[in-house]
Amino acid sequence: MSKPLVVVIPHQLGREGARKRLEDGVGTLKAKFGDKVGSIDERWSGDHLDVDVKAMGQSVSGGLDVADDHVRVEVQLPWMLAMIAEKARGYIEKEGQLLLEKKKQA
């Protein structure tokens, strides 16, 4: 088994604000990638989210922990996908920052 991919994404939303954005964001991901994945299962426990994704015969499991000023994402990639871990890291960082960026007040 490969070592987990860990990404830390800073934010300025506070714990509650970040968790709300993430809860909404999981729904967006399901809509965006629903036709490409077999299933996305999510389970919140306090400020921790466990996620299991099944796609193209592969299973990816991960979790994230929401803190006051950052979110720590840990993903366990199967060996076949571990070869693209750095691309996955970049994608997680980019999408996470977009999801957690503080929106300017109008």
* pLDDT band at residue 103 under the 50/70/90 scheme: low
- Which of 16-20, 23-27, 68-72 is the least confident region? 23-27
Domains of the chain: 5-98 (3.30.310)
The per-residue pLDDT for 3 is 79
Which residue's entry shows tokens 């965006």?
Answer: 32
Mean pLDDT of 80-96: 83
* Complete edge-to-edge strand list for the sheet that includes strand 48-55: 5-10, 70-76, 58-66, 48-55, 39-45
- Which of 14-23, 25-34, 36-45, 83-92 is the least confident region? 25-34
- Which amino acid type is present at position 30? K
Does this model's pTM top 0.85? My answer is no
Share above pLDDT 90 across residues of the chain, in percent, rounded to a whole number: 39
Question: pLDDT for 38-83, tens place per residue?
Answer: 788 899 999 999 999 887 788 889 999 999 999 999 999 887 777 7
